[in-house]
Structure 1
Amino acid sequence: MASLKVGENKEINTDLIQKACSLAVKAHSKSSQKSYILEKTGGSSYVIFSFPGYWSENDWYDGEPFGETKINLDLFPSLRSIGIDEHAKVNKAFQQRFVDKISRNQDFIKEVEKAKNERKQIVFTGHSTGGSIAILATIWFLEKYWRSDASATSPLCLTFGCPLTGNHIFSHALRREKWAPYFIHFVMRYDIVPRILLAPISSIKQEFQPILQFLNPKSSRASTNTPPEALNFYMNVMKNASSVASHAACKLMGNTNLLLETMANFTALSPYKPFGTFVFCTGNRKLVILSNPDAVLQLLFYSSQLDNEAECPDVAQRSLQQHFSYGNELKDCFTKLDADHAVLLESLEKLPLSADSTTTSSDITTINAALKDLGLSTRARLCLCAAGELEKRKIGNKNSIDLKKADTAMKYLQEYQLSCKHQGLGCYDAFKIHKSDKDFEANVNRLELAGIWDEIIEMLKNYDLPDAFEGEKEWIDLGTKYRHLVEPLDIANYYRHLKNNDTEGYTKKGRPKRYRFTQRWLEHAQRLPAGSCGESCFWADVEELRIKTSSKEGYAPFKDEVLQLEEQAMKWINDGVLDKDVLMENSTFMVWWKKQPDPLASCINDIEGFTITSA
C-alpha cells in the first residue's frame, strides 16, 4: 500500500488522499442539501467529512480589507499567544460559516462523536473554501474531544487549493499545541486560490465576482475559456503577494531598517500566514513538501512567478484552471511515487542556491531538480534558506536558555527561604525588613534571575523561540516554581521602597511580564480560568488591603475583598501552592488579619494545623 511521507515520522496512505480529494470536490455539488457530506467505508479505520466551498465575495471578505477578525475563543480557546495574551485572527466569513453551519449542527456532532467512540480516524477535507471549513472543524475537534481524551485517535485534515485562513498567531498556536502535523494542504503550482487572501478586497473587487463565478463548479460555463478578468486578477493578487513576501523576507534576513516598518504602515499587508504541511504539486508528477510556515509563504509567491512577461496571459489562465486539477494531478503523481517524485524539504538552510549546482550528492540533485520544477530563482532559494536559518536560530536560543535551567540563583533562594523559616520569619517579611547579609545576597540572586527571565520574555515577544516553547511542561513547571519562589521577594521590594505611592498597587502597575507570562502558561496548560493561579501575588493583595483597611474608611467598605482573600488563602495553602509561612505569628498577614473584626469566625481557622494566638 503506497504512502506519502509528509514528515520525519508521518506518512499518509495515497488512496486516502485521493479519496479525500474526490469527496472534497464532490461536496460542492451537495451543498444545497447539506453543509457537509459523510463517507463511511465498510471495514475501514477512518471516516471522511467533506465540506463544500462558497462562491460569493461576501463568503471571502467581510468588513476588514482582508476579511479578518478575532478568533472565537469560546470555540477555539487555544488559538492565542499565551504569554502576550493576544487572540489569533481568522477569516471572519469562514469562521461565521463554520459557526452557523457546522458547530451548531447536531447531526454533524453526533456523527463525529460516533466515529470517535468507535476509535475511527476522522478525516476532515475540503476543496477551495471548503478546506477552510475543514481546518476549523479539525481544530474544533482537537479542542473539544482530542485534548481531553488521550485514547482518542488523532484527526487528519486534508485540503486542496485552500485559501489561507488565519494569521501568524493562528499558525504559532497550532505549532505550540503540536497540532500542525495534522494539517496537510495540497497546492498546485499556479493555483491562484491559495494566494487570493494575500490581496485586500479593494485591489481585486472589480474582477473578483466574475472569477468566483468561473470557479464555481455549479456555474454554467459554456467552454473552458477563462474570463477576460483573469489577467488583471492574477496580476493584482501577485502584486500584493510580492509585497507580503518581500516584507516577510526582510524580517527573515534580520533587516532592522526602520524604513521597513514605516513602509508597512502605509501599505496594507495581508495578516494571513500558512501553517501545517504544504504539498506543492509542480505540474509534472512531482511533489515538494515542507512545513516551515515562513518558507511556505515565500514559496506561495515565488512558485507562481513568470520566466518572462510573455507568459503572463498563459499563467493567468492556468492560475484558474489548475484549481480543479487536483484529482488528476495527484493520480498522476501517485502512479510514480518514489524518492525522485516526492521531495521533503527539511534542512532549508542547506538548500542549493543555484539551479546550476554541480554537486554530486544524489539528495541535493533531487532537491535541486524539484526546486527547478517550481521555477525557483536564486532569490527565492535565499528566502527559503533564510526561513531555515531563522528556525535554526530559534532552536539555538532555546538550547541557550535550557542551559540556565539548573541555575545556582534558584538554589540559593530556596536555601534562603528555609533559613528564614528557621529564624521564625517568613521569606516575605525577612526580605522586606532587609537587615542581614543573607537578605542582600538574596536580592543579588533575585536580580540575576530577573535578567534571565526578562531575556526569555523578550524572546517570546519577538517570536525568537520555537513555537512549542510555551507549551513545554518542563518550562511551565520551572516558570511556576520561579514565580512562587521569587515573586514574593519582588512584592516585598516594591512595598519596602513604597513604590505604590509613586504609581499604584503592585498587581496593577508594578507586576513584571515575567510573572504574568509564566502564570498564563500554567493556566493554559491546566485549562484554568484566566487569573485563577494568582497565588504568587498573595502578598500584594495583603499589602493593598492592609493600606485600604487602615484608611479613614476602615474595614466595612472592603469586607468582601477581605473575605475573598481569606478564602483564596485557605484554598491555596490547602492545595500546597502557598507556603504556610504566611501564618507565622509575626507575618505581615497575621498581624493585619488579627486586627480585623472577629478573626475567630474566619475560614482561616479551618486550615489544618492552624491555631490562632492573641494579637
Structure 2
Amino acid sequence: MELRGEVIQRAYAGSWKAHRLPDKPYIIERINRNGLSEVIITFPGSGAVKDWYSQRNFGETKIDLNLFPSLRSIGKDEPALVNEAFSKRFQDILLARHSLADEVEKAMDKKKQIVFAGHSSGGPMAILATLWTLEKYRPPNSHGGIPPLCVTFGSPLIGNHIFSHATRRENWSSYFFHYVMRYDIVPRILFAPVSSLDQSFEQISQSFNPRSRSFMSESAGGSTAISDFYFTIMSNAATVTSHAASKLMGSTDTTLETLENFIPLSPYRPFGTYFFCTGNGKSGKKIVITNPNAVLQLLFFSAQLSTEAEAAQVPYRSLREHTIYGTELQQIATHNVVHLNQQQLQNLALSEDDAGGSNDLGLSLRARLCLRAAAELEARKCENEKKLNEKRSFIEQKLTKDLGEYREMWAHRRVGFYDGFSEHKKAEDFKANVTRLEIAGVWDEIIEKLRSYELPDEFEAKKEWINLGTRCRELVEPLDIANYYRHGRHYEDDASSYMVKGRPKRYRYPQRWLEHAERRPQQPTSTSCFWAEVEELRYKTGNGDASYRDVEERVVNLVAQIEEWSKKGELAKDVFLEGSTLVKWLKTLRLPHKQQPFIRRLIGE
C-alpha cells in the first residue's frame, strides 16, 4: 500500500498541531475534495516519565486481550507484551468524554479512509488506535469500511516480538508506516531500562514534552546529560541487537543464555513498514524496509558514529532530528526511495563501493551482514513451510485412505471407530495405530517449529492448515484418547486425565487456530476430545456416591454440549450407536439426569 505525499504531510502537520494542544486527547481533520474522503486523527505526545515507563525496568505488561484479542500467539496462547504506560494512556483516550470510538464509527459507516498519526509518543497512541479499529471493524463487522492506516514520525517502539508476529499473521502490518530520522534517539529510547537513565530522562524529555518551554529544543538537559543519555541508550541498543543478530546467525554459544539470565534485555521490537530518512536534505533518501528483524538492526547501526569527531555532535543531532520531520519530508523526492525487500536484503552488497543508495545510512560490514542474516531467516522460514506443504499431501492421504477406510470398516459392523479402536484386537487396529503415530510425527514437527518461530508468521492463519488441523483432530484425536485410557493412564489422580496431562499440543494448537479464525470463544472441550470427558466421568460416576456428587455439574454440562453438537450435526452418527461407550455410560446415569428427553431418546427409554 502507498500513502499520498499530501496525506503524509497533513498527518505530520496534524501531529504537530496536536502537540500544541496537549490538553486535547486527539484532534481531527476531515478532507473532502477531488473525490477523496479522508479523516486524519492525530495524537499529542508527552515527555513525562510516567507516560513512558511504568515501575518495571522497561515498563512492559501483557496486552489487554479484551481490547486486542488478536495480539497473541494463537497456538501458544501467549499474549503480546506492550508498553504499560502507552497502553493505559490509550485506554484513557478511548474512555474520554469526547469519544474516539464514536468518531471512528462515523467514519467507518461513511466508508471514509481513516489515517491515525502521531509524532514522538503520540505515535503509540496512533498505533493502538489503528489496531483497536482493525479488531473492532474486521470482516464481517467492517460493513464494507476501508481499513485504517497509521503514520508515525519518530515514534518509540511499543510491543514485543509477539506483537510484531501477530500483526503480520493478521496481515495488518502493511497498514503501518513509520518514519525515522537516521539519528533520532526517540525511536531507540525503550531499548534502555528506566533505571539506566536516572534523572537524565526527566531533563532531556523536556525537548519532546509539549507542556515544556524547552519543547523541540535540543538544548534541554545540558551537554553532558545529552551525551550520557545518547550513549546509554545506544549501549543498550547494542546489547539487544547483538543478541538478536547472534540468534539470526544461528549461534550456539551458551553465553547468549547466560546473558539473558543476568542482563535485562528490552522486549520491544519493530513492526510495519519503516522509512529511514538519511537527513541529507534534497539529496537525501528514504530506505524502505518491512523485515522486522532487519529494522531492529538498522535502528542500531544507522545511528552509529562514522568518525570519532562525531562523538560531540551526534548526541545533539539525535535530539535535533526529532524535530525536523516536516522539513525533511518536504525535501525528499519520491524518486529518492530505496526499497530493501527480501531479495535485495539477501543480495545486499558487502562492499561499501557496491552498496549504492542502500548505504546512505553509513552501514558497516557487520551491519550489512546482520541485514543479510535477517533476510536469510525469512528465507529459512519459507523453506520450512515449503517442506511441510510437501508433507501435507501425505497427511491428507493417510486421513482419507487409511483412517477413512478404517472408520468405514467399523461403521459396516455397527460399531463406532472409537470403541473399535479401544478394543484393539484386530490387525486393522494395529495398522490404524501405526497411521496415528505417523501423522503425529509430522504434526509434532510442525508444532516444534511454531514454538521456536521457524515458520512464517502467517502460517497459523492459513485456511488450508486450519482445515487440515481440524480434520486431524476429528479423525486422529479420538484414537489418541482411546489409546490413553486403554492403557489406564488416568487412574492415578485428577491431574492424570487426558485433558490435563495427556492432550498433545498437536491438537491444542489447531483447535485454537479454528477458534481464532471463526472468532469463537476458547472451549475446554471440543468435538474431537469430548471422549476424554466421557471417560473421566464414566470412571468418576461409577466410583461411588461421593465421586458422583463431585462431578454432577460436569455431567450436566457435557450432556448439554453433546446435545448442542448433535443438533448442529457436528458429531458422527457412530457416536450414538447403541453399543457405544457414550450410550453405555448414559444408561448408568442416575435420576433425574437420565430423564432428560435427549438422553431418553439415545438410550431407548
Same fold (TM over 0.5): yes
**Bigger Cα displacement from structure 2, 444-453 vs 407-416:** 407-416
Question: In the alignment, residue 220 of structure 1 is paired with which amino acid?
Answer: R
Alpha-carbon deviation of 1:356? 2.0
Q: Residues 86, 224 of structure 1: CA spacing in aligned structure 2 closer, same or farther, 3 A cutoff?
A: closer
1:404 to 388, 391, 398: 391
Task: Report the equivalent of 2:373.
Answer: 386
Q: Is the Cα–Cα contact under 8 Å of residues 40 and 117 in structure 2 kept in the other structure?
A: yes
1:374 equivalent in alignment to 2:367: no
1:88-140: CA deviations, max 9, x gaps?
00000000000112345553222111111111010000000000000000000
Does 44-53 or 224-233 show the bigger shift? 224-233
Alpha-carbon shift at residue 602 of structure 1 (Å): 2.2
Instruction: Name which of structure 1's ranges 372-381 and 496-505 shifts more when overlaid on structure 2.
Output: 496-505
Whether 1:584 and 2:584 are equivalent positions in the alignment is no
Classify the secondary structure of the residue corresponding to 2:392: coil
How far apart, CA to CA, are the structure 2 residues paired with 1:105 and 1:346?
45
Q: Deviations over 1:401-457 (max 9, x none)?
A: 111222232221121111111111111111110111110000000000000000000
Matched, 1:235 2:231: yes
Q: In 2, are the aligned partners of 1:146 and 1:152 still within 8 Å (CA)?
A: no
Q: CA 1:25–1:433 in structure 2 vs 1: closer, same or farther (change >3 Å)?
A: same
Aligned partner (choices 18, 21, 28) of residue 9 of structure 2: 18
**Structure 1 residue 343, shift from structure 2 partner:** 3.3
Of 75, 79, 86, the match for 1:83: 75
Following superposition, the deviation at residue 42 of structure 1 comes to 2.9
1:255-299 deviations in whole A, cap 9, x for unaligned?
122221111111110000000000000112210000100000000
Shift of 1:37: 0.2
Structure 1 residues 157 and 111: alpha-carbon distance in aligned structure 2, compared to 1, 3 A threshold:
same
Partner of 1:283: 279
**Secondary structure at the counterpart of residue 405 of structure 1:** helix
Change (3 A) 1:485 1:325: same
Aligned to 2:175: 182
Q: Quote the Cα distance in structure 2 between the aligned partners of 1:103 and 1:374.
A: 42
Mapping of residues 494-505 of structure 1, within 5 Å: 494-502=484-492, 504-505=496-497
1:613, distance to aligned residue in structure 2 (A) = 3.5
Question: Any idea what SS the aligned residue of 2:496 has?
Answer: coil
CA distance in structure 2 between the aligned counterparts of 1:344 and 1:105, rounded to whole angstroms: 44
Matches of 2:471 and 2:587, distance apart in 1:
30
- SS of 1:441's partner is helix
Identity, in percent, stands at 51
Aligned to 1:345: 341
Counterpart for residue 303 of structure 1: 302
Alignment of 1:112-261 (within 5 A): 112-147=104-139, 148-149=141-142, 151-221=144-214, 225=219, 227-228=222-223, 229-261=225-257
Q: Distance in 1 between matches of 2:383 and 2:118?
A: 37
Structure 1 residues 600 and 199, CA gap change in structure 2 (3 angstroms): closer
Give the equivalent residue in structure 2 for 1:542: 534
Q: CA deviation at 1:302?
A: 0.2
AA in 2 matched with 1:468: E
2:506 corresponds to 1:514: yes
Is 2:351 the counterpart of 1:354? Answer: yes
| Structure 2 counterpart of 1:65, from 39, 43, 57 | 57
> Partners of 2:522 and 2:588 in 1: how far apart?
32
Alpha-carbon distance in structure 1 between the residues aligned to 2:447 and 2:594: 44
Corresponding residue SS for 1:185 = strand
Contact persistence 2:421–2:482 (CA under 8 A): yes
SS at match of 1:534: coil
1:381-405 deviation per Cα after TM superposition (whole angstroms, max 9, x unaligned): 0000000000011011111111122
Question: Shift of residue 536 of structure 1?
Answer: 1.2
Aligned to 1:365: none
Q: Which runs of 5+ in 2 are unaligned?
A: none
Query: Residue by residue, what CA displacement relative to the aligned partner does 1:344-394 show, whole Å, maximum 9, x if unpaired?
Result: 43321111111122xxxxxxxxxx222321010110000000000000110
RMSD: 1.7
Judge which range, 216-225 or 236-245, deviates more: 216-225
1:10-41 CA-partner distances (Å, limit 9, x unpaired):
22111111110111111101112x10000012
Instruction: Tell me how many residue pairs correspond in the alignment.
Output: 588
Name the amino acid aligned to 1:77.
P
Asked whether the 8 Å contact 2:586–2:594 carries over to 1, the reply is no
> Is the CA contact (8 Å cut-off) linking 2:411 and 2:574 kept in structure 1?
yes
Give the structure 1 partner of residue 437 of structure 2.
447
Partners in 1 of 2:209 and 2:500 — Cα distance? 54
- TM-score, L = length of structure 2: 0.94
**Secondary structure of the structure 1 residue equivalent to 2:41:** strand
User: For residues 380 and 143 of structure 2, what CA distance do their matches in structure 1 show?
Assistant: 33
CA distance in 2, matches of 1:611, 1:144: 42
**AA partner of residue 24 (structure 1):** S
Q: Which residue of 2 aligns with 1:7?
A: none
Cα separation, 2, equivalents of 1:312 and 1:475: 53
| CA displacement 1:149-189 (0-9 Å, x = unmatched) | 26110110000000000000111111111101000000000
Query: Cα distance 1:456–1:105, how it changes in 2: closer, same or farther (>3 A)?
Result: farther
Segment of structure 1 superposing worse, 564-573 or 500-509 = 500-509
Which residues in structure 2 correspond to 1:388-537 (within 5 Å)?
Answer: 388-407=375-394, 408-411=397-400, 412-502=402-492, 504-531=496-523, 534-537=526-529
Offset of 1:75 from its aligned partner?
0.6
Q: Which amino acid aligns with 2:246?
A: C
Tell whether 2:544 aligns with 1:552.
yes
Kept after mapping to 1: 8 A contact 2:191/2:268:
yes
Normalised by the size of structure 1, how large is the TM-score? Answer: 0.93
One-letter amino acid matched to 1:305: Q
Residue identity in the other structure for 1:330 = L
- Closer, same or farther: CA 202–209 of 1 in aligned 2, 3 Å: same
Q: 2:490·2:498 contact (CA, 8 Å) conserved in 1?
A: yes
Q: In structure 2, what is the Cα distance between the partners aligned to 1:332 and 1:531?
A: 55
For 1:556 and 1:235, locate their aligned partners in 2 and report how far apart those are by CA, in whole Å: 66
Q: How far 1:522 moved relative to its partner?
A: 0.9
CA spacing shift, 1:600–1:220, aligned 2, 3 Å: closer
Q: 2:210 & 2:104 partners in 1: Cα distance?
A: 27
Q: In the superposition, relative to structure 1, how do residues 392 and 602 fare at CA in structure 2: closer, same or farther (>3 Å)?
A: same
The answer for the alignment partner of 1:602 in structure 2 is: 596
Distance 2:597 2:290 in 1: 54
After alignment, is 260-269 or 140-149 more displaced?
140-149
Tell me the distance in 1 between the aligned counterparts of 2:228 and 2:470: 55
Deviates more, 1:469-478 or 1:271-280: 469-478
Separation (CA, whole Å) in 2 of partners of 1:508 and 1:127: 48
CA distance in 2: counterparts of 1:320 and 1:309, whole angstroms: 19
CA deviation after TM superposition for structure 1 residue 580, in Å: 2.1
Question: Paired residue for 2:270?
Answer: 274
Cα displacement (A) at 1:472: 1.1
CA distance, structure 1, for counterparts of residue 126 and residue 97 of structure 2: 14
